């Protein structure tokens, strides 16, 4: 295993579209969403076996989730849990991790991934990531993984690639954020668009160079940390650094602007698990099309997704095409085709019932 290979898991998001399972004090990455006995974060970390040494895995998370990360990944040292004082989107999170790793090992080759995505084909995933790491190790390339779209989904970002040769690694032409349905259909038909999986691979030199070129003010902020990274003063420095960082994603800040961006065409059973319907689409369905996780008895019920506490018996009769989700002090029953209203529910609950339900 290459000692220069590092992994960064981003685990700071709240995932409000997955409410009421995903909550402010306990987001979805810390839940056993798939009902397999491990949280999304644990599954993500386990996926890195054979990709990089365990001591080279870093988790970037909100300071409020530090104890959750430590509890779920007890093999991590304190230094491997990077705590953000405030949320500032993905660019500062990635800058923090990559500048810290580069300070430790300038020859580092890094894979960055979210903590809450589904991968159904583990071996295919490992093979793909290793292929990307091989391509980035000694080249000035910023690589992202692209998933061949199976439907005109409006919830994903799309990457258009330049079709040259037969290699799976393609030069990126354009990025498009969450298109409408008609445009998504056009992308699907064209054959040169893939879903943006939000998984990145690059060497430390290339990503630091990209920050200096496209997010120079952010690069300056983290360059000032060279004397503090990997010391007892790092936390104090980061608290000050984040107060000066703007809220911006790595996609908008660098990937959409850089001219050395490549996409590796991939197929490893990926889903960003951003919504209840995405969980339904990959879940095991009974004869009536229901996806169930919990102690549930169903009568004349079809095409529902039901996730309830194991200690509570739930009896459902006559329900069709619904989401039934219960966690802690909240039960939500919502039509599957109205799931986009979940964010509206969260906003209303916060305003009318208070933060204890969010």
What mean pLDDT comes out for the span 244-264?
Answer: 95
CA–CA separation, 224 and 202 (whole Å):
22
> Average pLDDT, whole number, for the chain?
94
pLDDT of residue 205: 98
pLDDT of residue 97: 98
Each residue of 314-327: pLDDT tens digit? 999 999 999 999 99
* Residue 180 or 269, more confident: 269
Each residue of 265-283: pLDDT tens digit? 999 999 988 889 999 999 9
What mean pLDDT comes out for the span 12-24?
Answer: 91
Please report the domains of the chain, with CATH numbers, ordered by start residue: 5-271 (3.90.550.10), 276-353 (no CATH)
What is the per-residue DSSP string for 51-92?
Answer: TS-GGGEEEEEEGGGHHHHHHH-TTS-GGGEEEESS---HHH
CA–CA separation, 98 and 110 (whole Å):
8
Each residue of 125-157: pLDDT tens digit? 999 999 999 999 999 999 999 998 888 877 788
What mean pLDDT comes out for the span 26-37?
Answer: 94
CB neighbours of 207 closer than 8 A, spacing ≥ 6? Answer: 94, 98, 110, 142
pLDDT of residue 25: 92
pLDDT of residue 156: 83
φ, ψ at 258 (rounded to 5°) = -70, 150
Per this entry, what is the length of the chain?
358
Q: Which segment of 160-174, 191-205, 242-256 scores lowest on mean pLDDT?
A: 160-174
What is the per-residue DSSP string for 150-183?
Answer: SS--SSS-EEEE---SS-SEEEEEEEE-S--HHH
């Amino acid at each position: 295993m290459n000692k220069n290979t590092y992994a960064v898991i981003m685990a700071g998001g709240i995932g409000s579209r997955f409410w009421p399972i995903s909550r402010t004090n306990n987001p979805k990455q810390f839940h056993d969403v798939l009902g397999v006995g491990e949280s999304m974060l644990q599954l993500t970390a386990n996926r890195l076996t054979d990709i990089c040494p365990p001591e080279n895995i870093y988790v970037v998370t909100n300071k409020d989730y530090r104890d959750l990360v430590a509890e779920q990944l007890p093999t991590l040292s304190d230094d491997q849990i990077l705590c953000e004082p405030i949320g500032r989107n993905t660019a500062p999170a990635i800058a923090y991790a990559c500048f810290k790793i580069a300070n430790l090992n300038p020859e580092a080759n890094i894979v960055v991934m979210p903590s809450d995505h589904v991968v159904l084909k583990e071996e295919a995933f490992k093979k793909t990531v290793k292929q990307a790491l091989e391509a980035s190790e000694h080249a000035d390339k910023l690589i992202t993984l692209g998933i061949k779209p199976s439907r005109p989904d409006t919830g994903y970002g799309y990457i258009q690639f330049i079709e040259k040769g037969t290699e799976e690694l393609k030069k990126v032409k354009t990025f498009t954020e969450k298109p409408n349905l008609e445009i998504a259909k056009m992308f699907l038909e064209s054959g040169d668009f893939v879903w943006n999986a939000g998984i990145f691979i690059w060497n430390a030199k290339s990503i630091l160079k990209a920050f200096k070129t496209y997010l120079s003010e952010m690069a300056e902020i983290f360059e000032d940390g060279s004397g503090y990274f990997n010391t007892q003063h790092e936390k104090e420095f980061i608290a000050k650094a984040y107060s000066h960082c703007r809220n911006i994603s790595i996609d908008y800040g660098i990937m959409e602007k850089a001219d050395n961006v490549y996409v590796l065409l991939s197929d490893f059973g990926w889903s960003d698990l951003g919504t209840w319907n995405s969980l339904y689409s990959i879940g095991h369905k009974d004869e009536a099309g229901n996806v169930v996780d919990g102690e549930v008895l169903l009568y004349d019920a079809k095409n529902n997704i039901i996730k309830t506490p194991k200690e509570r018996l739930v009896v459902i009769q006559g329900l069709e095409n619904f989401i039934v989700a219960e966690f802690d002090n909240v039960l939500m029953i919502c039509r599957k085709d109205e799931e986009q209203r979940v964010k509206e529910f969260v906003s209303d609950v916060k305003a009318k019932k208070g933060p204890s339900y969010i």
